[in-house]
Amino acid sequence: MTGMEAPDAELKKELDATLHARRELGEDYEPALVESFLEKVEQRLDGAVDRRVRRQLAEQQMVVARGSRSPRSTDSWGERFGFGIVSLVLAVPLSAIGGGVAGLPGLLVAWVGIVGVNAVQALRHTDFPLRRPRDKSDSDWEA
């Protein structure tokens, strides 16, 4: 099993458990169940983002240590394609839950989140600097 299959299987189990609990407990508990499931999805995404940021920072530190100007991109087309597929797979249950709980506003909130995550992913692949590189003349130690 690859790294992508295990989290998807775990999220699917969580979604199945949430839907089963909703059927047993009724509509009164639906908002709490949806919130709990979304918190688990958010935790999973936060963990993935944290790992990716740590990896990129380590890569940048290695590039700086080697004296290069910019880190080479290690992202492949397959990684971006996989992210898009996972995003669409998660969009289906999130849309159903958001639309079922809050109607059109819930559906809109779900899709704003989906589009936001994909926009951040797309911006990550652009080649613009986030800050101006420091010159040696900008040293804090020089008077």
Percent of the chain with pLDDT over 70: 76
Cα 65 to Cα 86: distance, rounded to the nearest angstrom: 35
Q: What is the pTM of this model?
A: 0.39
Annotated domain spans of the chain: 8-126
Q: Which pLDDT score, from 0 to 100, does residue 36 have?
A: 87
Query: What's the mean per-residue pLDDT of the chain?
Result: 78
Q: Which pLDDT score, from 0 to 100, does residue 141 have?
A: 43
What would the pLDDT profile of 46-97 be if each residue is shown by its tens digit? 888 889 989 988 888 888 888 755 444 555 777 888 888 888 888 888 888 8
User: If residue 71 lies in a helix (H) or strand (E), which one and from where to where?
Assistant: none
85-91 contacts at long range (C-beta below 8 A, 24 or more positions apart): 86/4, 86/8, 87/114, 87/117, 87/118, 87/121, 89/8, 90/11, 90/41, 90/114
